[in-house]
Amino acid sequence: MTDFAAIILAAGKGTRMKSDLHKVLHPIAGKPMLMHLLDTVALMGVNRIVVVAGDRREQLDQALEGRDVSTALQDPQLGTAHAALQAKSALEGFSGNILVCFGDVPMVRAETIERLNRAIADGAKVAVLGFKPEDRLAYGRIIADDDGTVRKMVEFKDATEREKTTRMCNSGLLIAHSDDLWPLLEAVGNDNAAGEYYLPDVATGAIARGDKVVVIECEPDEVAGINSRAELAEAEQRWQAARRAEAMADGATLKAPDTVFFSHDTKLGRDVTVDPHVVFGPGVSVADGVHIKAYTHLEGATLATGVQVGPFARLRPGAVMEENSFVGNFVEMKKATLGPGAKASHLSYIGDATVGKDANIGAGTITCNYDGYFKYQTVIGERAFIGSNSALIAPVTIGDDAIVAAGSAVSRDVGAGDLRMVRAEQLVKQGWADRFHDTMKKKKAAQKAGAQKK
């Protein structure tokens, strides 16, 4: 099998994004668009990856830390062919096919890249990726025979009126073997309207020397570039639509699909029901038979079989709900485990806690886990009952089958089977409220009379 490398061009300033964040680091479904592309390329068994940076290179270096990816600098920026050539030293000694693609075109599919690779294996010296958009705008054009053999590639501003009528447009992505790519890149000139070194001239140069160049066609959405916030939103919309369709095809019920938003790594089991207006942040795993009710937000949470969540619930990172547990409206969990069959039906905060099997958390219960400096654990035993409006002041342990009376502030451990009631003594002062109201009304009337005399 031929070795495979990728050059990802990400040197543009991204001025249309109007952002301090590098353009290719803006997220789609919670993951930077560059990482979408890197993960796709990784599926191809890539041997080497070079990201060509320019403006804000330090942001890219930081984002790529820990990945087996090199960066190269393009300065000054003289065009896409010039940018690709900056990766040559980072790929010194590499022999194999090289994909040249763009960091702001993140949705290209692995299958499409494989088709480009196969074209090289079948005898083409260069394979380019084309598409046929409804609105061809100012895309470069690919003039090709019916069998995909490319006769000419031309930028829109350099095209004749006849060439501009061509339906096949150039995505900019191409593949060539390293033995061919470097000489072709080095031969690219800048005799064009913009005075830039254009990447498509790699194909033009190959055609000029008699080499076979072919075009592989893909869907327009796959190679849609992202240059503005509006285009980023459109890419998010397309990604979400595809993910919703995938979820339903895999056996989940989405009652109002357009209102459900997934993260790039959301995992759903079969027979999961998702009500309207549910948002999945990163790191959520949902097992079979779970019901997630409306207006629930989940992030970094794990839900086992038969769990019910919501409506209006929030599960934060580290929330674990075991089999058949239940969280109701206006309940928040963070770094907490709710044991099998345990439930917190409404209006509670459960943080840094372990709740045992079949325990019941009453409305208004709070695990007071933070003293302003450190976090502490609350442990609630199996079948324990925590009465409404209770404050469990961590670190504290509530034993199996224990009961905490409603309205208690518990700061010491409660033994298994014990009742803990922590309340102030209720005093009754008969007539006190009536006397108070009379006194205050007279005082207010006197104050008003004095003001009128003035």
Contact assessment for residue 304 and residue 285, using Cβ atoms and an 8 Å cutoff? no
Asked if residue 6 belongs to a known ligand binding site, the reply is no
Asked if residue 334 belongs to a known ligand binding site, the reply is yes
- The angle at the Cα of 150, spanning 200 to 220, to the nearest 5 degrees, equals 70
Asked if residue 360 belongs to a known ligand binding site, the reply is yes
Asked if residue 370 belongs to a known ligand binding site, the reply is yes
Q: Give the list of residues 6+ apart from residue 73 with CB closer than 8 angstroms, or none.
A: 11, 52, 53, 54, 57, 86
Asked if residue 136 belongs to a known ligand binding site, the reply is no
Residue whose token pair is 């990802």: 8
Contact assessment for residue 80 and residue 197, using Cβ atoms and an 8 Å cutoff? yes
H/E segment holding residue 80 = helix 80-85
Asked if residue 170 belongs to a known ligand binding site, the reply is yes
Asked if residue 243 belongs to a known ligand binding site, the reply is no
Residue whose token pair is 């501003």: 157
**Nearest Cα to 72, choosing from 125, 8, 22, 128?**
8
- Cβ atoms within 10 Å, residue 90: 18
User: CA–CA separation, 334 vs 357, rounded Å?
Assistant: 18
Asked if residue 316 belongs to a known ligand binding site, the reply is yes
Peptide bond just before 311 cis, omega within 30 deg = yes
Q: Please, which contacts does 405-408 make with residues 24 or more away whose CB atoms are closer than 8 Å? A: 406/362
- Asked if 346 is an active-site residue, the reply is yes
Residue whose token pair is 């046929």: 132
Asked if residue 406 belongs to a known ligand binding site, the reply is yes
Q: Where are the alpha helices (DSSP H) in 286-340?
A: none
User: CA–CA separation, 312 vs 292, rounded Å?
Assistant: 10
**Tokens, residue 302:** 């794990």
User: CA–CA separation, 282 vs 156, rounded Å?
Assistant: 41
H/E segment holding residue 163 = helix 161-164
H/E segment holding residue 424 = none
Asked if residue 10 belongs to a known ligand binding site, the reply is yes
Asked if residue 237 belongs to a known ligand binding site, the reply is no
Asked if residue 9 belongs to a known ligand binding site, the reply is yes
Asked if residue 14 belongs to a known ligand binding site, the reply is no
Asked if residue 423 belongs to a known ligand binding site, the reply is yes
User: CA–CA separation, 327 vs 360, rounded Å?
Assistant: 11
Q: Give the list of residues 6+ apart from residue 442 with CB closer than 8 angstroms, or none.
A: none
Q: What's the Rg (C-alpha) of the chain?
A: 32
Asked if residue 192 belongs to a known ligand binding site, the reply is no
Peptide bond just before 76 cis, omega within 30 deg = yes
The percent of the chain in helix, strand and coil, each rounded to the nearest 5, is: 25, 30, 45
CA dist list (Å): 245 to 240, 253, 281, 383: 9, 10, 18, 41
**Which residue is catalytic, options 22, 82, 346, 437?**
346
Asked if residue 433 belongs to a known ligand binding site, the reply is no
Asked if residue 369 belongs to a known ligand binding site, the reply is yes
**Tokens, residue 347:** 């209006």
Kindly provide the residue ranges of all beta strands, DSSP E only, lying in 80-181, ordered along the sequence.
Answer: 97-102, 126-131, 141-144, 150-154, 169-177
Asked if residue 104 belongs to a known ligand binding site, the reply is yes
Asked if residue 343 belongs to a known ligand binding site, the reply is no
Query: Which residues does the annotation place in the binding site?
Result: 9-12, 23, 74, 79-80, 104, 140, 155, 170, 227, 316, 334, 349, 360, 363, 369-370, 388, 406, 423
Query: Which residues does the annotation place in the binding site for acetyl-CoA?
Result: 363, 369-370, 388, 406, 423
Query: Which residues does the annotation place in the binding site for Mg(2+)?
Result: 104, 227
Query: Which residues does the annotation place in the binding site for UDP-N-acetyl-alpha-D-glucosamine?
Result: 9-12, 23, 74, 79-80, 140, 155, 170, 227, 316, 334, 349, 360
Q: Which residues form the catalytic set? A: 346
